[in-house]
A and B are shown apart, each in its own frame.
Chain A
Amino acid sequence: SAVISQKPSRDICQRGTSLTIQCQVDSQVTMMFWYRQQPGQSLTLIATANQGSEATYESGFVIDKFPISRPNLTFSTLTVSNMSPEDSSIYLCSVVVVYEQYFGPGTRLTVT
Protein backbone atom coordinates (compact mmCIF):
# COMPACT_ATOMS: atom_id res chain seq x y z
CA SER A 1 0.00 0.00 0.00
CA ALA A 2 0.95 3.66 -0.06
CA VAL A 3 0.03 6.70 1.97
CA ILE A 4 0.10 9.99 0.12
CA SER A 5 -0.07 13.50 1.47
CA GLN A 6 -0.60 16.72 -0.46
CA LYS A 7 -0.09 20.36 0.36
CA PRO A 8 -1.96 22.63 0.32
CA SER A 9 -5.31 20.96 0.82
CA ARG A 10 -7.06 23.96 -0.70
CA ASP A 11 -6.28 27.43 -1.90
CA ILE A 12 -7.96 30.43 -3.44
CA CYS A 13 -5.75 32.20 -5.95
CA GLN A 14 -5.96 35.24 -8.12
CA ARG A 15 -6.02 35.06 -11.88
CA GLY A 16 -2.53 35.24 -13.41
CA THR A 17 -0.67 33.83 -10.41
CA SER A 18 0.88 30.39 -9.94
CA LEU A 19 0.46 27.71 -7.30
CA THR A 20 2.77 24.82 -6.52
CA ILE A 21 1.23 21.65 -5.12
CA GLN A 22 3.38 19.20 -3.22
CA CYS A 23 2.90 15.43 -3.10
CA GLN A 24 4.72 13.17 -0.63
CA VAL A 25 4.55 9.36 -0.62
CA ASP A 26 5.54 7.14 2.28
CA SER A 27 7.48 4.71 0.07
CA GLN A 28 9.72 4.89 -2.97
CA VAL A 29 7.87 4.67 -6.27
CA THR A 30 9.06 4.92 -9.83
CA MET A 31 6.10 6.77 -11.29
CA MET A 32 3.85 9.41 -9.80
CA PHE A 33 0.76 10.66 -11.57
CA TRP A 34 -0.99 14.00 -11.52
CA TYR A 35 -4.72 14.19 -12.25
CA ARG A 36 -7.19 17.00 -12.56
CA GLN A 37 -10.83 16.68 -11.60
CA GLN A 38 -12.99 19.57 -12.70
CA PRO A 39 -16.19 20.22 -10.77
CA GLY A 40 -18.66 17.39 -11.20
CA GLN A 41 -16.40 15.62 -13.69
CA SER A 42 -14.25 12.53 -13.87
CA LEU A 43 -10.49 12.42 -13.53
CA THR A 44 -8.16 13.43 -16.34
CA LEU A 45 -4.50 12.50 -16.31
CA ILE A 46 -2.24 15.54 -16.64
CA ALA A 47 1.18 13.91 -16.63
CA THR A 48 3.37 11.13 -15.36
CA ALA A 49 6.35 12.17 -13.26
CA ASN A 50 9.40 9.93 -13.38
CA GLN A 51 12.39 10.46 -11.16
CA GLY A 52 15.41 11.60 -13.07
CA SER A 53 13.66 12.42 -16.32
CA GLU A 54 11.22 14.88 -17.81
CA ALA A 55 7.57 14.39 -17.04
CA THR A 56 5.38 12.90 -19.75
CA TYR A 57 2.36 15.05 -20.51
CA GLU A 58 -0.99 13.92 -21.87
CA SER A 59 -2.69 15.50 -24.83
CA GLY A 60 -3.99 18.93 -23.94
CA PHE A 61 -1.50 19.58 -21.15
CA VAL A 62 1.83 21.36 -21.64
CA ILE A 63 4.90 21.84 -19.54
CA ASP A 64 4.74 25.63 -19.60
CA LYS A 65 1.34 25.55 -17.96
CA PHE A 66 1.89 22.59 -15.62
CA PRO A 67 5.60 22.25 -14.84
CA ILE A 68 6.39 19.20 -12.73
CA SER A 69 9.39 18.36 -10.60
CA ARG A 70 10.40 14.93 -9.33
CA PRO A 71 13.57 15.36 -7.29
CA ASN A 72 13.45 11.92 -5.63
CA LEU A 73 11.43 8.71 -5.43
CA THR A 74 9.01 9.94 -2.74
CA PHE A 75 8.22 13.51 -3.74
CA SER A 76 6.82 15.51 -6.62
CA THR A 77 5.44 18.97 -7.26
CA LEU A 78 2.94 20.26 -9.80
CA THR A 79 2.77 23.96 -10.56
CA VAL A 80 -0.33 25.50 -12.10
CA SER A 81 0.97 28.57 -13.88
CA ASN A 82 -0.69 31.77 -15.00
CA MET A 83 -3.97 30.60 -13.58
CA SER A 84 -7.40 31.37 -14.95
CA PRO A 85 -10.83 30.50 -13.52
CA GLU A 86 -10.89 27.46 -15.83
CA ASP A 87 -8.08 25.98 -13.72
CA SER A 88 -10.41 25.72 -10.73
CA SER A 89 -10.35 22.00 -10.00
CA ILE A 90 -9.21 19.35 -7.61
CA TYR A 91 -5.66 18.25 -8.34
CA LEU A 92 -4.75 14.74 -7.23
CA CYS A 93 -1.48 12.92 -7.17
CA SER A 94 -1.39 9.16 -7.22
CA VAL A 95 0.94 6.18 -7.33
CA VAL A 96 0.53 2.58 -8.40
CA VAL A 97 1.78 -0.20 -6.14
CA VAL A 98 1.35 -3.77 -7.35
CA TYR A 99 -1.41 -2.83 -9.83
CA GLU A 100 -3.37 -0.89 -7.22
CA GLN A 101 -3.65 2.87 -7.53
CA TYR A 102 -3.57 5.08 -4.45
CA PHE A 103 -4.60 8.72 -4.39
CA GLY A 104 -3.62 11.65 -2.28
CA PRO A 105 -6.31 13.66 -0.53
CA GLY A 106 -6.31 16.25 -3.31
CA THR A 107 -5.78 19.99 -3.55
CA ARG A 108 -8.91 22.01 -4.15
CA LEU A 109 -7.99 25.07 -6.17
CA THR A 110 -10.29 28.01 -6.77
CA VAL A 111 -9.15 30.76 -9.11
CA THR A 112 -10.90 34.11 -8.87
Chain B
Amino acid sequence: ELKVEQNPLFLSMQEGKNYTIYCNYSTTSDRLYWYRQDPGKSLESLFVLLSNGAVKQEGRLMASLDTKARLSTLHITAAVHDLSATYFCAVDPLTSGTYKYIFGTGTRLKVLA
Protein backbone atom coordinates (compact mmCIF):
# COMPACT_ATOMS: atom_id res chain seq x y z
CA GLU B 1 0.00 0.00 0.00
CA LEU B 2 1.34 3.39 -0.96
CA LYS B 3 2.03 5.64 1.99
CA VAL B 4 2.76 9.33 1.86
CA GLU B 5 4.12 10.84 5.03
CA GLN B 6 4.83 14.44 5.81
CA ASN B 7 6.80 15.94 8.60
CA PRO B 8 6.39 17.85 10.61
CA LEU B 9 2.64 17.61 11.11
CA PHE B 10 2.57 20.96 12.86
CA LEU B 11 4.98 23.82 12.44
CA SER B 12 5.01 27.09 14.27
CA MET B 13 7.65 29.50 13.09
CA GLN B 14 8.61 33.11 13.43
CA GLU B 15 8.31 35.53 10.58
CA GLY B 16 11.56 35.89 8.68
CA LYS B 17 12.76 32.37 9.42
CA ASN B 18 13.42 29.53 6.98
CA TYR B 19 12.10 26.02 7.25
CA THR B 20 11.58 22.85 5.21
CA ILE B 21 8.61 20.49 5.06
CA TYR B 22 9.38 16.91 4.02
CA CYS B 23 7.24 14.51 2.05
CA ASN B 24 8.29 10.85 1.91
CA TYR B 25 6.49 8.24 -0.14
CA SER B 26 6.77 4.49 -0.33
CA THR B 27 6.48 3.60 -4.01
CA THR B 28 8.08 4.49 -7.30
CA SER B 29 6.70 7.68 -8.75
CA ASP B 30 8.02 10.70 -10.60
CA ARG B 31 4.93 12.84 -10.18
CA LEU B 32 4.43 14.77 -7.01
CA TYR B 33 2.18 17.68 -6.19
CA TRP B 34 2.02 20.32 -3.48
CA TYR B 35 -1.18 22.01 -2.38
CA ARG B 36 -2.15 24.71 0.04
CA GLN B 37 -5.38 24.71 2.01
CA ASP B 38 -6.61 27.67 4.02
CA PRO B 39 -9.08 27.00 6.84
CA GLY B 40 -12.55 26.28 5.50
CA LYS B 41 -11.34 26.44 1.91
CA SER B 42 -10.57 24.00 -0.87
CA LEU B 43 -7.12 23.04 -2.10
CA GLU B 44 -5.00 25.32 -4.21
CA SER B 45 -2.31 23.80 -6.43
CA LEU B 46 1.16 25.15 -5.68
CA PHE B 47 3.60 22.99 -7.57
CA VAL B 48 3.59 20.12 -10.03
CA LEU B 49 6.85 18.14 -10.07
CA LEU B 50 7.08 15.67 -12.93
CA SER B 51 10.64 14.36 -12.97
CA ASN B 52 13.60 13.50 -10.79
CA GLY B 53 15.50 16.61 -9.83
CA ALA B 54 12.61 18.93 -10.62
CA VAL B 55 12.75 22.21 -8.75
CA LYS B 56 10.10 24.89 -8.83
CA GLN B 57 9.90 28.20 -7.03
CA GLU B 58 7.12 30.67 -6.46
CA GLY B 59 7.73 33.60 -4.18
CA ARG B 60 8.96 32.37 -0.81
CA LEU B 61 8.23 28.71 -1.57
CA MET B 62 10.47 26.28 -3.39
CA ALA B 63 9.68 22.62 -4.03
CA SER B 64 12.01 19.86 -5.16
CA LEU B 65 11.72 16.19 -6.00
CA ASP B 66 14.22 13.35 -5.55
CA THR B 67 12.57 10.25 -6.98
CA LYS B 68 15.46 7.98 -6.01
CA ALA B 69 15.10 8.92 -2.36
CA ARG B 70 11.30 9.08 -2.75
CA LEU B 71 11.43 12.47 -1.14
CA SER B 72 10.07 15.90 -1.89
CA THR B 73 10.75 19.06 0.06
CA LEU B 74 8.89 22.33 0.34
CA HIS B 75 11.25 25.04 1.51
CA ILE B 76 9.99 28.25 3.02
CA THR B 77 12.25 31.27 2.87
CA ALA B 78 11.78 34.27 5.17
CA ALA B 79 8.29 33.23 6.23
CA VAL B 80 5.48 35.75 6.41
CA HIS B 81 2.13 35.48 8.19
CA ASP B 82 0.25 35.02 4.90
CA LEU B 83 1.91 31.63 4.45
CA SER B 84 -0.03 30.26 7.43
CA ALA B 85 -2.07 27.35 6.04
CA THR B 86 -2.05 23.58 5.76
CA TYR B 87 0.23 22.15 3.09
CA PHE B 88 -0.34 18.78 1.47
CA CYS B 89 1.83 16.77 -0.84
CA ALA B 90 0.27 14.16 -3.11
CA VAL B 91 1.80 11.38 -5.15
CA ASP B 92 0.59 9.85 -8.37
CA PRO B 93 1.25 6.10 -8.02
CA LEU B 94 1.30 5.83 -11.84
CA THR B 95 -1.32 3.11 -11.86
CA SER B 96 -2.07 2.99 -15.54
CA GLY B 97 -3.71 6.36 -16.10
CA THR B 98 -6.07 6.31 -13.14
CA TYR B 99 -4.78 9.55 -11.56
CA LYS B 100 -5.59 8.26 -8.09
CA TYR B 101 -3.35 10.63 -6.23
CA ILE B 102 -2.50 9.69 -2.66
CA PHE B 103 -2.34 12.60 -0.25
CA GLY B 104 0.09 13.09 2.57
CA THR B 105 -0.94 13.72 6.13
CA GLY B 106 -0.63 17.48 5.79
CA THR B 107 1.54 20.02 7.59
CA ARG B 108 -0.23 22.75 9.48
CA LEU B 109 1.95 25.84 9.33
CA LYS B 110 1.52 28.83 11.58
CA VAL B 111 3.74 31.83 11.05
CA LEU B 112 3.94 34.08 14.07
CA ALA B 113 4.37 37.80 13.69
Residues of A within 8 A of B (CB): 31, 33, 41-45, 48, 58, 92, 96, 99-106, 108
Q: Is the CB of B100 within 8 A of A103?
A: no
| With A101-B90, A101-B101 already in contact, 5 other A-B pairs whose C-beta atoms are closer than 8 Å | A33-B100, A43-B88, A48-B98, A92-B42, A101-B99
Q: Is the CB of B99 within 8 A of A31?
A: yes
Q: Given that A42-B105, A99-B50, A101-B90 are contacting pairs, would A92 and B43 also be in contact in the complex, using a CB cutoff of 8 Å?
A: yes
Residues of B within 8 A of A (CB): 31, 33, 40-43, 45, 48, 50, 88, 90, 92, 98-106
Q: Please indicate the chain B residues that have their CB under 8 angstroms from the CB of A106 in the complex.
A: 41-42
> Which of B33, B40, B105 lies in contact with A101, CB distance below 8 A?
B33
Q: Please indicate the chain A residues that have their CB under 8 angstroms from the CB of B101 in the complex.
A: 45, 101
User: Which partner residue on chain A sits nearest B101 by CB separation?
Assistant: A101
Q: Please indicate the chain B residues that have their CB under 8 angstroms from the CB of A31 in the complex.
A: 98-99
Q: How far is the CB of A106 from chain B (nearest CB, A)?
A: 5
Q: Please indicate the chain B residues that have their CB under 8 angstroms from the CB of A100 in the complex.
A: 33, 45, 48
Q: Is the CB of B45 within 8 A of A101?
A: yes
Q: How far is the CB of A110 from chain B (nearest CB, A)?
A: 13
Q: Please indicate the chain B residues that have their CB under 8 angstroms from the CB of A44 in the complex.
A: 103
CA distance A54 to B106 in the complex (A): 31
CA distance A58 to B40 in the complex (A): 25
User: Which partner residue on chain A sits nearest B98 by CB separation?
Assistant: A48
Q: Which of B42, B48, B100 has the most CB of A within 10 A?
A: B42
User: Which partner residue on chain A sits nearest B108 by CB separation?
Assistant: A40
20 CB contacts below 8 A, A to B, read A33-B99, A41-B106, A42-B105, A43-B88, A45-B100, A45-B101, A45-B102, A48-B100, A58-B100, A92-B43, A99-B50, A99-B92, A100-B45, A101-B33, A101-B90, A101-B99, A103-B43, A106-B41, A106-B42, A108-B40
Q: Please indicate the chain B residues that have their CB under 8 angstroms from the CB of A105 in the complex.
A: 41-42
Q: How far is the CB of A59 from chain B (nearest CB, A)?
A: 9
